[in-house]
C-alpha cells in the first residue's frame, strides 16, 4: 500500500505578513515635514531613496543576521603571536557601508550648508530603525571630527579618510586604507562615569611634551567601544596627580606595527550584540596629545555632546521602528472578529504611542537646528544666539534622559501588541526591546544627564531665560502648557539641594514642555492638544508622569492620529 500523508492538523491563517517593501521616509509625515522645516529640503530626495532601500526585505534581513552572528575576537595567531583581531559577519560590513555611503559619518562637516545637521539626523533616524549596533562606530567617528579638526596637523593627515564615503573593513595601517573609523575610551573599572578617577598614565618619551607631542600610555579601559576602529580618543594622566588629558591613540603605530593595545575580552551584552564592546589594556601604547594638557575632559566632552544627540535619535528610531511594526500588525491581525486596529482600546494604545514618537521626532530635529546654528557660528565667527545655545546645551541632555528612558517602556508596549509572537526572536520586537536600555546608559546615565541639565541652567542663565521667554510666547493660548512652565520655573527657584534631589522631575518637566511647544508649532492641533492634555495636565500641580500608554481621552480622534503616524 502507498503510505498515506498524515492528516492536516490545521490551516495557517490570521498571521501577519512581514513589514517590507515600504519607504521609511515617505511613510513618516512628521519626519518629512521636519526636514522641510529645519532647512534640509535639499536632501529630501536622498532621504526618500534611502528610505526605500531600508524597506527592502534583503536589507531588513541584514539586521537579524548581524545580531545572530556576533563579532568574534582572536587574541593570538596559530603561531602564538598577539594579533587582537575581530571577525564580523558580512552583514555587519554591509550595514556600515550603507551608513557610510549616505554620509552619516560626516555630512555636516564635509558638506557645510544650511540644514546639513538636520539632513544628517534625519538619515541617522532612518538607519536607527533598521539596526542599532552598527550606529555606534559611525556615531563616534562623526563626533570625533569637530575635536580632531582643532588639531590642524593631525587632521590634515586624517581628513580624506574620515570623510570618505566608502567603508573599508580591512585591519591595516591607515596609510593602506581608503577610510577610517574612530572610537573612544573613557571609563575605567574604578570610576565608570566619574572619569576624574581614571588612573591610566601617559608619559612623553622625548623632550617634547604637551599638545601634539607623542606619548606612551599604560593602563586600561573597562568599556572600549568598537575596538576594531582605526583610532580612539583616550583619557589619561601625565602624572599621578595631574589633571586628565586627551590622546589620539591609533590602532597601528607610525612604524606600521600594531599598537600595544591588548583586547582582554569582548563584553557579553544584553543587546547591541552586533557591535563589539571590549576591555583593553595599554602596554606602552603610542598616542598623541590632543587639546591642551590637563583639559582632557572638556576636550572629549565636545565629542560626547554629539554622541548624546545620537543617543536621542537612536532611541527615537527604535520607538519609530517598534511603532510601525505594531501598527502594521494591528492592521492585519483579527481578534474577536475585528481587526485589532478597529478595536477602541487598541486604537488608544497605538494613538498614544504615535504621539510619543511624534514628540520625540520634532524634538531631535529641533535640536539638529541648534547644532546647525552652532556649526554655522563656528564657521563664520559669528555669535551663537542665546536661544540656540540653550537648546543645544540645556535641552540636549534633557532629551537624552527622557527619550532614552521612554524607549524602554515604549518597546515593551509595542511588543505586547504582537502578543506571544513579539516575545520570540524570529521577529524584530525582542531585539528592539533588548536594544532599548543601552542609550540610557551609554554616554552618561540618567542621573548624569539630569545633573548636566542643572549645570547648564546654572552656567547659562541668560540662555535659559531666553529659552523660557520663547516658550511662554508659544503658551499664550495653551493654559495647560503655561501652568507647566510656571511649575518648572518654580522648581528651578528651589534651593540647590532640593533641585539636585528633584533633578529627574525637573528634567522631565523641561523636556515635556519643550515637546509640547514644538508640537504646538508644527503638529496638527489634535495631536498637540492630546499630547499636552495627557503629558502636562498634572504638571501645574508638580505631578506629571505615572501613566501607561493607552490612556488618551476618548474625545481625541485616535484613528486619525494612527493614520497620520504611518502612511502606507
Q: Are residues 323 and 287 in the same domain?
A: no
Q: E strands within 91-243?
A: 182-185, 201-203, 214-225, 231-237
Average of per-residue pLDDT across 229-255: 97
Q: Are residues 307 and 267 in the same domain?
A: no
Q: Are residues 286 and 314 in the same domain?
A: no
Residue 553 has pLDDT above 60, yes or no: yes
Q: What is the DSSP string of 336-347?
A: TTEEGGGSHHHH
**Rounded Cα–Cα distance for residues 300 and 444 (Å):** 13
Whether 404 is covered by a domain: the verdict is yes
Mean model confidence pLDDT for the chain = 96
Whether 21 is covered by a domain: the verdict is no
Average of per-residue pLDDT across 50-70: 98
pLDDT of residue 193: 86
User: How do beta strands 72-76 and 231-237 pair?
Assistant: unpaired
Whether 4 is covered by a domain: the verdict is no
Whether 171 is covered by a domain: the verdict is no
Q: E strands within 329-385?
A: 334-335, 338-339
Average of per-residue pLDDT across 243-259: 97
* CATH code at position 341: 1.20.140.10
The label of the residue with cell 541652567 reads 457
Is residue 348 within 8 A of residue 339, CB to CB? The reply is no
**Rounded Cα–Cα distance for residues 115 and 122 (Å):** 11
Question: What's the helix, strand, coil split of the chain in %, to 5?
Answer: 55, 10, 30
User: Which of 266, 293, 320 lies at the terminal end of a domain, its last residue?
Assistant: 293
Domains: count for the chain: 3
* CATH code at position 210: 2.40.110.20
Whether 173 is covered by a domain: the verdict is no
Of the chain, the percentage scoring pLDDT greater than 90 comes to: 94
Distance set, CA 270 to CA 57, 71, 555, 563 (Å): 26, 14, 41, 34
Summarize pLDDT for 436-479 with one digit per residue, the tens: 999 999 989 999 999 999 999 999 999 999 999 999 999 999 99
pLDDT of residue 541: 43
Whether 19 is covered by a domain: the verdict is no
Residue 68 has pLDDT above 50, yes or no: yes
Compute the C-alpha angle 321/436/518, nearest 5°. Answer: 65
In this structure, of 71-75, 326-330, 379-383, 510-514, the range with the lowest mean pLDDT score is 379-383
Q: Are residues 134 and 215 in the same domain?
A: no
Whether 60 is covered by a domain: the verdict is yes
Q: Are residues 411 and 274 in the same domain?
A: no
Residue 544 has pLDDT above 60, yes or no: no
Residue 546 has pLDDT above 60, yes or no: no
Q: Are residues 190 and 146 in the same domain?
A: no
Summarize pLDDT for 171-203 with one digit per residue, the tens: 999 999 999 999 999 999 998 888 989 999 999
User: 34: helix, coil or strand?
Assistant: helix
pLDDT of residue 2: 73
Residue 150 has pLDDT above 90, yes or no: yes
pLDDT of residue 543: 40
pLDDT of residue 540: 46
Q: Are residues 271 and 360 in the same domain?
A: no
Q: Are residues 344 and 388 in the same domain?
A: yes
**Rounded Cα–Cα distance for residues 433 and 410 (Å):** 9
User: Which of 258, 293, 328 lies at the terminal end of a domain, its last residue?
Assistant: 293
pLDDT of residue 73: 98
Q: Are residues 285 and 307 in the same domain?
A: no
Q: Are residues 402 and 329 in the same domain?
A: yes
Confidence of residue 14 (pLDDT cuts 50, 70, 90): very high
pLDDT of residue 4: 80
pLDDT of residue 395: 98
2/492: higher pLDDT: 492
Q: Are residues 475 and 337 in the same domain?
A: yes
Name 292's Cβ contacts closer than 8 Å, sequence gap at least 6. 210, 211, 245, 299
pLDDT of residue 1: 62
Q: Are residues 328 and 421 in the same domain?
A: yes
Range of the domain at 218: 181-293
Average of per-residue pLDDT across 520-535: 96
192/402: higher pLDDT: 402
Whether 225 is covered by a domain: the verdict is yes
Amino acid at each position: 500500500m502507498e503510505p498515506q500523508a498524515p492528516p492536516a492538523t490545521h490551516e495557517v491563517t490570521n498571521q501577519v505578513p512581514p513589514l517590507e517593501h515600504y519607504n521609511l521616509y515617505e511613510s513618516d509625515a512628521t519626519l518629512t515635514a521636519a526636514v522641510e522645516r529645519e532647512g534640509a529640503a535639499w536632501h529630501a530626495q536622498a532621504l526618500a531613496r534611502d528610505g526605500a532601500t531600508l524597506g527592502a526585505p534583503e536589507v531588513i534581513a541584514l539586521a537579524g543576521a548581524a545580531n545572530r552572528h556576533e563579532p568574534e575576537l582572536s587574541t593570538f595567531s596559530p603561531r602564538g603571536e598577539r594579533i587582537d583581531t575581530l571577525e564580523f559577519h558580512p552583514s555587519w560590513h554591509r550595514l556600515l557601508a550603507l551608513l557610510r555611503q549616505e554620509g552619516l559619518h560626516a555630512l555636516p562637516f564635509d558638506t557645510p550648508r544650511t540644514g546639513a545637521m538636520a539632513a544628517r539626523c534625519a538619515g541617522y533616524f532612518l538607519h536607527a530603525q533598521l539596526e542599532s549596533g552598527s550606529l555606534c562606530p559611525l556615531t563616534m567617528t562623526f563626533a570625533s571630527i569637530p575635536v580632531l579638526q582643532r588639531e590642524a596637523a593631525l587632521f590634515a593627515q586624517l581628513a580624506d579618510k574620515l570623510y570618505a564615503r566608502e567603508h573599508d573593513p580591512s585591519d591595516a595601517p591607515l596609510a593602506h586604507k581608503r577610510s577610517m573609523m574612530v572610537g573612544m575610551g573613557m571609563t575605567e573599572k574604578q570610576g565608570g562615569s566619574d572619569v576624574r578617577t581614571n588612573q591610566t598614565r601617559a608619559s612623553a618619551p622625548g623632550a617634547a611634551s604637551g599638545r601634539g607631542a607623542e606619548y606612551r600610555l599604560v593602563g586600561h579601559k573597562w568599556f572600549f567601544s568598537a575596538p576594531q576602529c582605526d583610532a580612539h580618543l583616550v583619557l589619561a594622566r601625565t602624572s599621578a596627580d595631574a589633571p586628565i588629558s586627551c590622546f589620539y591613540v591609533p590602532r597601528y603605530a607610525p612604524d606600521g606595527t600594531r599598537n600595544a593595545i591588548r583586547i582582554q575580552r569582548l563584553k557579553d551584552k544584553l543587546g547591541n550584540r552586533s557591535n563589539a564592546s571590549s576591555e583593553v589594556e595599554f602596554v606602552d601604547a603610542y598616542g598623541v596629545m590632543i587639546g591642551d594638557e590637563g583639559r582632557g575632559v572638556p576636550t572629549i566632552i565636545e565629542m560626547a555632546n554629539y554622541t548624546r544627540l545620537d543617543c536621542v535619535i537612536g532611541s527615537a528610531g527604535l520607538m519609530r521602528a517598534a511603532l510601525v511594526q505594531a501598527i502594521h500588525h494591528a492592521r492585519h491581525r483579527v481578534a474577536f472578529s475585528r481587526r485589532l486596529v478597529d478595536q477602541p482600546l487598541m486604537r488608544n494604545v497605538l494613538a498614544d504611542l504615535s504621539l510619543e514618537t511624534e514628540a520625540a521626532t520634532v524634538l531631535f530635529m529641533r535640536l539638529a537646528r541648534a547644532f546647525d546654528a552652532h556649526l554655522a557660528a563656528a564657521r563664520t565667527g559669528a555669535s551663537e544666539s542665546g536661544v540656540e545655545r540653550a537648546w543645544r546645551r540645556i535641552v540636549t541632555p534633557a532629551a537624552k534622559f527622557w527619550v532614552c528612558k521612554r524607549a524602554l517602556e515604549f518597546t515593551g508596549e509595542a511588543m505586547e501588541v504582537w502578543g506571544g509572537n513579539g516575545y520570540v526572536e524570529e521577529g524584530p520586537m525582542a531585539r528592539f526591546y533588548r536594544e532599548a536600555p543601552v542609550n540610557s546608559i551609554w554616554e552618561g546615565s540618567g542621573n548624569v544627564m539630569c545633573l548636566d541639565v542643572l549645570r547648564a541652567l546654572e552656567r547659562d542663565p541668560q540662555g535659559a531665560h531666553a529659552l523660557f521667554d520663547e516658550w511662554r510666547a508659544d503658551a499664550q493660548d495653551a493654559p495647560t502648557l503655561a501652568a507647566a512652565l510656571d511649575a518648572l520655573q518654580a522648581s528651578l527657584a528651589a534651593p540647590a539641594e532640593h533641585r539636585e534631589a528633584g533633578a529627574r522631575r525637573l528634567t522631565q518637566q523641561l523636556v515635556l514642555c519643550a515637546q509640547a511647544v514644538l508640537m504646538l508649532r508644527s503638529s496638527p492641533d489634535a495631536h498637540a492638544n492630546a499630547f499636552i492634555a495627557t503629558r502636562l495636565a498634572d504638571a501645574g500641580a508638580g505631578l506629571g508622569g505615572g501613566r501607561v500608554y493607552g490612556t488618551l481621552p476618548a474625545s481625541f480622534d485616535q484613528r486619525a492620529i494612527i493614520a497620520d503616524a504611518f502612511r502606507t
